[in-house]
Amino acid sequence: MTNPNARILIADDQADVLEALRLLLKPEGFTVEAVRAPAAALKAAESRDFDLALIDLNYARDTTSGTEGLDLLAKLQAADATLPVVVMTAWASVEIAVEAMRRGAKDFVTKPWDNPRLLAIVRNQLELARAVRAYRRLAEENQILRGGKSGPKLIAESAAMRPVLDIIARVGPSDANVLITGENGTGKGLVAQALHAISARADQPFISVNMGGLPEGVFESELFGHVRGAFTDAKADRAGRFELADGGTLFLDEIGNIPHSQQAKLLRTLETGEFERVGSSKTHRANVRLVSATNADIAAEVTGGRFRQDLLFRLNTIQLHLPPLRERREDIDLLAQHFLRQHAERYRKAVTGFDPGAVETLKSYPWPGNVRELDHSIERGVLMCAGRVIRDTDLGLKAGAASPSLEDMSLEEVEAFFIKKVLARSDGNARAAAEALGLSRSAFYRRLEKYGL
């Protein structure tokens, strides 16, 4: 429910506009502070808390380009990233409002405005902002955003990720089915965990299954379970993923890989909550919240007859798209620092940062493998680092390269990399590391000496 005592900041250089907005908003219970210049609006936002800003884009000194209004939008966002900003403009300048939306404004109103529409926009944005702030507060309490042990590590502060956080905040607490789309490595699994973590089911099971890794013959058994004797290797009764997730959340990754012949069975369970174990006629029920994910163009799969349209309708009550890392570059530094701390602790290495060359590579690299590739690159950097600071060469990346991997390393670099990795996982025990690598102790020590380890 919208807070009736919400504080709204209004910026417009026309006194009659300010008065009209006061008369409209104050009877709704809102506290209104009105100013006539961008500088005054910024000063107010920096010194007092507001729940929403309603700003004009064109001022007396700039009646056509909207430069002052767009500049004020950027400064308000810098002052408070959670403050929703709604912009106002004349019909002749709608293209400027569109540009403001591209830069982060939540909505726009054209002058002269329609009172019911303006009030609806204000209420919607206040409610959304309240949900986002509640999510972030809950996320901090549950250590979701900053990598605590009790929740997923969802680090996202870029403009491209704001819609993702907005949707999580709005639908997370519900039982709505969510379909997460995006390229491989964008963090679809972490988003699924975040949705579960802020739901009423948070203390119930979160069960994940990779549909791309299931052969067609075991699909029913994995999802619905089986009874002893149902097939050759069924030596005991076994619960399926729906039963295991009862009361909680079931995450079906790579949902586009479900065989077409099995899609009707999944649809029936989603519609009724009922299923039978393989080899049994006894009907079971499970109450699950379904979150699914895919990197495929699922609409094209439907058009091509490979995915049932009615099943898609069941899956995507809410559809949430994750942008690739190349479209959220503002997050790269935060993510890199997070992975650095994580892997330095894991491998017990006193690595504290990146040298300028490594920083430049992290910023310029296209990241075709997205966040997962960044994570692996930082892990490699920690392992290969000879001092306290990761160098460009430690990362094994080439700025502008298409797909870095072990193929970009020399044979000696690969060998040194794996020796370091195994030695770290063996807690520095050379004997255990040698055994894990299938080397004699003398051969292992020769390699340590060769690579200066």
Domain assignment present for 154: no
Range of 16's domain? 7-133
Matching residue, tokens 């997205």? 370
| Angle subtended at Cα 393 by Cα 387 and Cα 396, rounded to the nearest 5 degrees | 120
Q: Do residues 77 and 165 share a domain?
A: no
CATH of the domain at 51: 3.40.50.2300
Q: Do residues 23 and 75 share a domain?
A: yes
pLDDT at 143: 45
Domain assignment present for 1: no
pLDDT at 147: 44
Question: DSSP per residue over 308-348, as a string?
Answer: -HHHHHHH-SEEEEPPPGGG-GGGHHHHHHHHHHHHHHHTT
Domain boundary among 262, 286, 321: 321
Tens-digit pLDDT profile for residues 256-279: 888 888 899 999 999 999 999 999
What's the structural domain count of the chain?
Answer: 3
Q: Do residues 275 and 310 share a domain?
A: yes
Distance, in Å, from the CA atom of 74 to the CA atom of 103, rounded to the nearest integer, reads 8
- What percent of the chain lies above the pLDDT cut of 70? 85
- Alpha carbon dihedral 168, 172, 176, 179, in 10-degree steps, equals 40
Residue 402 and residue 396 in contact, taking contact as beta carbons nearer than 8 Å: no
pLDDT at 400: 46
Model confidence at 402, in pLDDT bands (50, 70, 90)? very low
Q: Do residues 433 and 391 share a domain?
A: yes
Residue 156 and residue 323 in contact, taking contact as beta carbons nearer than 8 Å: no
Q: Do residues 168 and 316 share a domain?
A: yes
Q: Judge whether residue 411 has pLDDT over 60.
A: yes
pLDDT at 83: 87
Q: Do residues 300 and 346 share a domain?
A: no
Domain assignment present for 235: yes
Q: Do residues 175 and 298 share a domain?
A: yes
Q: Whole-structure pTM over 0.75, yes or no?
A: no
pLDDT at 180: 96
Q: Judge whether residue 146 has pLDDT over 50.
A: no
Q: Do residues 297 and 282 share a domain?
A: yes
CATH of the domain at 421: 1.10.8.60
Q: Do residues 277 and 235 share a domain?
A: yes
Domain assignment present for 115: yes
Domain assignment present for 194: yes
Matching residue, tokens 């955003």? 145
What residues contact 193, with CB distance under 8 A and at least 6 apart?
Answer: 151, 152, 154, 206, 251
Q: Do residues 302 and 382 share a domain?
A: no
